[in-house]
């Protein structure tokens, strides 16, 4: 699982943001994640996290919100977290996962 952009302006600058999430299985090709994750336009690169207590579960945070995948990154759902306005124009720098 990786969050990537074509260059630093698309990765970090809200005015030209365009990034996407990619995943691969084994040594297969990288494929863009589209199911439940925001479209690339306007999207700053995401920070990704996992927890050893939840195998195959990924979390992501970016300027559009926080997301969770329960199927190794194939599909995503937005988490019901109120996202601060300042985060909509800024990039997440870290993400901590604390399982219940």
The residue ranges of every structural domain in the chain are 2-88
33-55, pLDDT tens digit by residue? 999 999 999 999 999 999 999 99
Answering whether pTM is above 0.75, one says: yes
Nearest partner of 75 among 46, 41, 34, 19, judged by Cα: 34
- Cα 20 to its chain centre, rounded Å, is 8
Residue 89: which pLDDT band, with cuts at 50, 70 and 90?
confident
Q: What's the helix, strand, coil split of the chain in %, to 5? A: 10, 30, 60
């Amino acid at each position: 699982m990786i969050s990537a952009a074509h260059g630093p302006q698309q990765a970090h600058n809200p005015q030209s943001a365009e990034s996407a999430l990619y995943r691969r299985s084994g040594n297969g090709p990288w494929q863009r994640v589209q199911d439940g994750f925001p479209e690339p336009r306007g999207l700053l690169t995401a920070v990704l996290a996992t927890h050893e207590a939840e195998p195959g579960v990924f979390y992501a945070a970016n300027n559009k919100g926080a997301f969770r995948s329960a199927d190794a990154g194939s599909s995503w759902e937005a988490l019901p977290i109120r996202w601060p306005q300042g985060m909509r124009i800024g990039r997440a720098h870290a993400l901590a996962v604390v399982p219940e």
